[in-house]
Chains A and B, each alone.
Chain A
Amino acid sequence: MMVDWRPSASSATLVIRARLLQRIRAFFQARDVLEVETPLLSRAAATDPHIESFLVQDPLGGTPRYLHTSPEFAMKRLLAAGSGSIYQVCKVFRQGEAGRRHNPEFSMLEWYRPGFNHLQLMAEVDDLLRELLDDYLPLADTSRLTYREAFQRYAGIEPLMASIPELQATVRQQGIDITGLDQQQKDPWLDLLMTHVVEPALPQDGPVFIYDYPASQAALARIRQGSPQVAERFELYLGGMELANGFHELTDAAEQRQRFTVDLASREASRLACVPMDERFLAALESGLPACAGVALGIDRLVMLAAGVKSISEVIAFDDEHT
């Protein structure tokens, strides 16, 4: 049998990837943001019930490690220690995520800006995007929509106040045939409409920022009080593809612990792996995380846009199928 040893990406695409990485580093150097490296292996893991860490066993019986799913916890520890603005380019690992736009191991650009809120960071993401894609992809004007506006405009429903039956009615109207979603939880129904209805309808030719998410989807963002309250979180879409996720970061250690606890309870209810929460990260928050905004951007998807290819395997030298 012929063993397929060749790369899944063309050499032309790998040149684009290298060029984009150079531009990323030049962008942050010019803005005086420090490049850092944090461990890929950690004794703690992400608690998010929708993200599964790879577990690395120690053959000699020592404490197992988890491959990080994002460098967020460690980078926030640096911020709490007074690092100032920092960025990192690294591989992250998520079990079970494979497809046209997913590879279980992928490259992430993550950066943090003390003193910024999520709206200021959105502006910087837009600057970076335009500088990176400059001669690869002409970009139309940037759109900025709240989560609520995006749903009202593209799915015809107000998402924050809508009941689960109302969301289900919209799902049916849209002709979506869905199996397996919990009837008692609202967020999965919102995610279904977001991925199946809103995302495909977003403008394709320019960056689209969606911000102010439902408080129930805050993740590690701070929640702004109001009626209804919203999470100061944003997502960037380009070419119908999710490219980045950012937060005006939660700095309250007690609330963070509470969210981790809720995550772990939800993991247990769904019979997912029970993982240790990151106590060192929580201790850093207790000691004081400066007010800041942070964002993670998928480098592989950025290369896909620059190279004009449809599949993530075409921008990674060896995708998961070729390892």
Chain B
Amino acid sequence: MASYSTNEFRSGLKILIDGDPCSIIENEFVKPGKGQAFNRVKIRNLKTGRVLEKTYKSGESVEAADVMDTDMQYLYNDGEAWHFMHPETFEQVAADANVVADAAKWLKEQDTCVVTLWNGLPISVTPPNHVILTVTETDPGVRGDTSGGGGKPATCDTGAVVRVPLFVDIGDQIKVDTRTGEYVSRA
């Protein structure tokens, strides 16, 4: 099994902790002038998304996690799983609701997402930073009101509910930032 020594620790490194794949968010080298050195790390568990803090005695080795972030095209949902395809190898993977989690409401067919694979199996899905969605349900638009003040909820074709300005109407295409869930502009 591949492993990393603490002196190879850097943010983004994928390691195995208690059997779960984790990603290092922050690594701090702590050492008294005379005495034991430590690596104090902040880690995200890639399966649960939970952030934890751990300290290693410097020089320790930690098992590497075979985790790859892969750009994949979202194909369709068959009611149970979301299907993604690698754009070059055409290899397909299916991710269930636990894996897709909150990303589900941003997934539009044909969009390219980042699918995180652990030992070849998907463990998380990250939607594109911006998606174009079609409004399917909202209060009637107020023409001429471009102030942006106020706003109203709008339901989109993916099921996402986004707060939009008053002038947005059913059938409009809008650009949304998936990281914040906020409306950006009309598309």
Contact = CB atoms under 8 A, between A and B. Distances in A.
A178 B57 CA distance: 8
B55 A179 contact: yes
Contacts of B180: none
Interface string A282-307: 00000000000000101000000000
A135 to B, nearest CB: 28
Nearest to B52: A177
B36 A188 contact: yes
A230 to B, nearest CB: 15
A181 B56 CA distance: 8
Nearest to B39: A99
B34 A50 contact: yes
Interface string B53-83: 1111111101000000000000000000000
Nearest to A235: B33
Interface string A194-221: 1110000000000000000000010100
Contacts of A98: 29
Contacts of B62: 179
> Most chain-B Cβ atoms within 10 A of its Cβ — which of A98, A99, A102, A176?
A99
B34 A219 contact: yes
A158 interface: no
A187 B29 contact: no
Given A98-B29, A180-B60, A191 B36 contact: yes
A194 B35 CA distance: 10
A181 B57 contact: yes
Nearest to B26: A100
Contacts of B33: 235, 242, 245, 296, 298
A179 B61 CA distance: 10
Given A176-B55, A177-B54, A178-B55, A191 B32 contact: yes
Contacts of B58: 96
Interface in B60-113: 60, 62
Contacts of A48: 34
A102 B31 contact: yes
Contacts of A179: 54-57, 60, 62
Contacts of B57: 178-181, 188
B30 A195 contact: yes
Given A96-B7, A177-B54, A179-B57, A217 B35 contact: yes
Contacts of A102: 29, 31
A61 B60 CA distance: 33
Contact of A177 (B27, B30, B55): B55
A192 B31 CA distance: 9
A97 B37 contact: yes
A296 B60 CA distance: 29
A245 B29 CA distance: 19
A230 B175 CA distance: 67
A191 B35 contact: yes
B40 interface: yes
Given A177-B53, A180-B56, A180-B60, A245 B34 contact: yes
Given A179-B60, A180-B60, A242 B36 contact: no
B29 A192 contact: no
B28 interface: yes
A195 B29 CA distance: 11
A100 B28 contact: yes
B29 A50 contact: no
B43 to A, nearest CB: 10
A109 to B, nearest CB: 13
A235 B30 CA distance: 16
Contacts of A245: 33-34
A100 B29 CA distance: 7
A181 B30 CA distance: 14
Which of B29, B55, B60, B62 is packed against the most chain A CB atoms within 10 Å?
Answer: B55
B38 interface: yes
A191 B36 CA distance: 6
Interface string B15-35: 000000000000111111111
A196 B35 contact: no
Contacts of B28: 99-100
A79 B35 CA distance: 26
21 contacts: A96-B7, A96-B58, A98-B29, A99-B30, A101-B29, A176-B55, A177-B55, A178-B38, A178-B54, A178-B56, A179-B57, A179-B62, A180-B56, A187-B35, A188-B57, A192-B38, A194-B35, A196-B38, A196-B55, A217-B34, A217-B35
